[in-house]
Amino acid sequence: MQVPQLTIFEQVGGAATFIRLADEFYRRIDTDPDIRGMFPADLTGAKERLGLFLIQYFGGPSTYSEQRGHPRLRMRHVPFSIGQAERDIWVGHMLGAIDSLGIEEPARTQMIEYFERGATFMINRDDS
């Protein structure tokens, strides 16, 4: 029997889940003294940008690119000093956010793999 292939967007419950994920992630950033200063004072826009990007990346509507153009994420992160330490904090908060929503397998592992790889790709400061 043929098993229909669902996107991660569909598997986890659509746009509402990614909006909640961005909220949970930024709630953690907001109280992290080590990393809070990298982000804008008002996190409203940042939450919205992250939520829309993730909706698009995981197979939902491409509202992010309609509003912001091609993602070019590495370029958009160049203004921020991102070393291994910042990368690890970022990933830690994203994993916390994922688990707070109870996202189920196999989507959970696929999302974590993306975030770990993607966050490493954003590193633009070599501390060695």
Give residues in contact with ligand HEM (CB under 6 A): 35, 38-40, 45-46, 49-50, 53, 68, 73, 76-77, 80, 82, 86-87, 90, 115, 118-119, 122
CB of residue 124 to ligand HEM, shortest distance in Å:
9
CB of residue 1 to ligand HEM, shortest distance in Å:
35
CA dist 36 and 39 (Å) reads 6
| Buried-state track 95-113, b at ≥16 Cβ within 10 A, e below 16 | bebbeebebeeebbeebbe
Return the number of the residue (2 or 128) whose C-beta is nearest ligand HEM: 128
How many Cβ atoms from other residues are within 10 Å of residue 55's Cβ? 23
Residue nearest ligand HEM, Cβ-based: 118
CA dist 48 and 27 (Å) reads 13
CB of residue 2 to ligand HEM, shortest distance in Å:
32
